[in-house]
Amino acid sequence: MEGTESISHTGFHAGSFSVNHETRAAAEAARRQVCIMSATLHPFPSHHEPVAAPAARLALKADGTSRGLLDGAWWPRSRDLLSELPSLTDALDPLWGRITRVAVNPTHWPIIPRKVPVHGRVVKVGWFTTEIDPHKLLLLSYGTGRWDLLVIPPETGAEAAARLMAAASDYDGPPLTASALVAADEALHGVSVTDESLDSSDRDEAWEDEGGAAAVSAAVPRQTGPAGRVGPLIVGM
């Protein structure tokens, strides 16, 4: 009897282990099946949808105006050419023809990529230390020509940016280089055009609060040239 009871006892536990193991295996299989069904019913996208970059902030001279030394002004949101140039070329391509090359002075650009991808093509980027003003961007358009933009420092306050955009896109000028224009604004108002206390989101909010594009238009001096001429073209603001 003792032997039989011992055998039965042992067999009981062995059987219990087998049943428990099978139960867990079945539960695991059912769980996997539920996961598979869930994945089938609610598939995750294979890639993230690209987030559209903010439009470039530009003030450009109207067609037919005297060029002077600048064709307008650009107020980038950062010093990252890889992220800033695509939105700039998006805005300028329909106006000036396809932009193929860009050149800058490296003084205010920490990284200068040789090529920037833009909608399946590339824009070539170059730099010059003496030939290009540190506050200017030079663009070459396919089959059209050359364009020069004042680059307003990204950290510039909204009021100063509006003044500089108005001056750079004025019908009659300005007869100043890009750096001279920035220096003249600082001297006239007694403060630097930049405000390091504002981060990028604060600057954008300040730009909207202080009038944005309307502030640029309002800051344009009264024009005394030919009647019927149009004002500067304001883009992305």
The per-residue pLDDT of the chain, averaged, comes to 74
The domain segmentation of the chain, as residue ranges, is 1-46, 58-235
Q: Is it the case that residue 190 has pLDDT exceeding 50?
A: yes
Least confident of 68-82, 103-117, 183-197: 183-197
Of the listed ranges 39-48, 86-95, 168-177, the least confidently predicted one is 39-48
pLDDT band with cut points at 50, 70 and 90 for residue 32: low
133 has a pLDDT exceeding 90: yes
Q: Give 116 or 228, the one with higher predicted confidence.
A: 116
Point out the least confidently predicted range of 108-117, 125-134, 145-154, 219-228. Answer: 219-228
List 60's β-bridge partners, or say none.
72, 233
Residue 179 CB coordination number (10 Å): 15
Residues 6+ apart with CB under 8 A from 125: 81, 85, 101, 102, 103, 104, 112, 113, 114, 115, 116
pLDDT in tens, 94-110: 999 999 999 999 999 99
pLDDT at 208 over 70: no
